Amino acid sequence: MPIPAKQEIRVVGVHFSHIAHNTPAVSRLIAAANQVARMIKRVTSKNHGLKETETTKLERVFVVS
């Protein structure tokens, strides 16, 4: 039984396309980074929100995870 060809596969959470480019993975990372940036902007824009040191810690956590 032959293995069916796919346009995109996921291996250990990383997406690869059939043309050996990592465009799907990069586009997903950009989308996730934009969502995190919007969330951090909402949290830090309030008067009693996060301070700069707390914000940088939060950014590091989201980038690593």
**Model confidence over 2-42: pLDDT tens digits?**
888 888 777 887 777 777 777 777 787 888 888 888 887 87
Domain ranges across the chain: 22-64
pLDDT at 65 over 70: no
Query: What distance in Å separates the CA atoms of residue 11 and residue 8, rounded to the nearest whole number?
Result: 10
Predicted confidence band at 46 (pLDDT cuts at 50, 70, 90)?
low
pTM of the model: 0.55
Cα separations (Å) of 62 from 33, 48, 49?
A: 8, 22, 18
Q: Which helix (H) or strand (E) holds 14?
A: strand 14-17
Predicted confidence band at 64 (pLDDT cuts at 50, 70, 90)?
low
Query: What distance in Å separates the CA atoms of residue 3 and residue 15, rounded to the nearest whole number?
Result: 18
